[in-house]
Chain A
Amino acid sequence: MPEWLELELAHQLSPAAAPEDLWERIQGGRPPARRPLPRWPIAAILTLMVAAATLWLAAKGQEPALSLEQLALQQLHHTAPLDLLSSDPAQIAAWTRRHADVPLTIPAGTPVRLAGVRVIRNGGVRITAVDYTAGSDAATLLVARTGPPDGTSHGRMSWRSGGLTYALACSNPDHPEAACLLCHASL
């Protein structure tokens, strides 16, 4: 060990005199007073945690069932190139399963005219978009995997089933249900 360190330690760690009031504290016999934890670091840490959770949820797109309808409308009006051009329901289903891990089933006898499929990303979530035409109306179906299969719920243009969330958008605002023809030929 270098001499300077030995000298420095001996000098800086030299014995100290006990404070005068130590005996009084011992006579008081009270347990050592706990130093209260400073509160501002706790508040700062909690604030940071809340902010981080908020950002994380926002980035994750925490509730696709609510936003997927808007995203479907957006996709309908800003059509990006399709990853697969196909009018074959089986081919689209197979591609979707392989590239987006989504078990999409489109009836073989669907009355719509399929254009193809692409995968988009929103808040870190992979979403499958199927473009098609129902009569003279353009439509888009979005499908996203949102978690474990925990039941089924159905809204007007979006629904959940088997751990997947679906949303439809149609170019005809007066008759958006036309998009439902993809799977429901009787509508």
Chain B
Amino acid sequence: MVLEGSDRELVAACQRGERDAFRALFETYKDKVYSIALRFSGDPAIAMDIAQDTFLKLFSSIRDFRGDASFETWVYRLVVNSCLDHKRRSWRLIPIADELLAVLQAPADCLGEILRGEMQQRVQSAVERLSPDLRMVIVLRYTEGLSYDEIAEVLGCSPGTVASRLNRAHKALERRLSYLVNQKGGGHA
């Protein structure tokens, strides 16, 4: 049955235009695509836009997939390109003001949740301030757990470049987040 098939069978079924196969493919990759979009953009609404854009591209161009790379790598490339395209198109006027508005507009019963999520916001905010190239390697590394070689294949660069970008990203994040360690007493909670 298509729904239980491997990627290859699913892709072949999609290429034949089988409707169930599209749904199965979506179910297989929806969390990966959405997670990358969310961690890259830091905004659920934008992540939905990126995920939708990615799947529309995936479904419309799946006939072009030749199997030169793994299908998963191909999906990663699509979502990475959608993220970077969205970043190029969008212009957030005042990101800090956006964040402030989000807090002010939150209902009172959400404030506790906001406080609990403060740490995540700070980390996400520090990640958002990275350049798109550095941010993407961080997301692929920590959200998807990809190896340097896998990240290099997705991004179309060398593993050395991935290592260099990760190193720069780590240094920037360490600089921006080191105060959290002091606040927490020197270790991870």
Residues of A within 8 A of B (CB): 1-5, 7-19, 22-23, 25-26, 29, 31-33, 35, 37-38, 41-42
A12 in contact with B174 given A17-B31, A22-B52 (CB within 8 Å):
no
Measured between beta carbons, the chain B residues less than 8 angstroms from A10 are 142
Count residues of chain B with CB under 8 A from any CB of chain A.
48
Residues of B within 8 A of A (CB): 23, 26, 30-35, 38-39, 44-46, 48-53, 55-56, 59, 90-91, 93-94, 97-98, 101, 119-120, 123-124, 127, 138-139, 141-144, 170, 173-174, 177, 180-181, 187-188
Give the residue name and chain of the B residue nearest to A32 (CB). Answer: B49
Asked whether, in the complex, the Cβ of A4 is within 8 Å of the Cβ of B52, the reply is no
Asked whether, in the complex, the Cβ of B170 is within 8 Å of the Cβ of A14, the reply is no
**Candidate in A5, A10, A17, A35 with the most chain B CB atoms within 10 angstroms:** A5
Query: A23 to B59, alpha carbons, bound, how many Å?
Result: 12
Asked whether, in the complex, the Cβ of A16 is within 8 Å of the Cβ of B123, the reply is no
Asked whether, in the complex, the Cβ of A18 is within 8 Å of the Cβ of B30, the reply is yes
Give the residue name and chain of the A residue nearest to B43 (CB). Answer: A35
Measured between beta carbons, the chain A residues less than 8 angstroms from B90 are 35
Measured between beta carbons, the chain A residues less than 8 angstroms from B142 are 9-10, 13-14
Asked whether, in the complex, the Cβ of A26 is within 8 Å of the Cβ of B173, the reply is no
**Candidate in A10, A12, A23 with the most chain B CB atoms within 10 angstroms:** A12
Give the residue name and chain of the A residue nearest to B36 (CB). Answer: A15
Asked whether, in the complex, the Cβ of B138 is within 8 Å of the Cβ of A4, the reply is no
A5 in contact with B143 given A12-B120, A22-B52, A26-B26 (CB within 8 Å):
no
Query: A41 to B138, alpha carbons, bound, how many Å?
Result: 31
Q: How far is the CB of A99 from chain B (nearest CB, A)?
A: 48
A15 in contact with B123 given A9-B138, A26-B55 (CB within 8 Å):
no
Query: A33 to B44, alpha carbons, bound, how many Å?
Result: 13
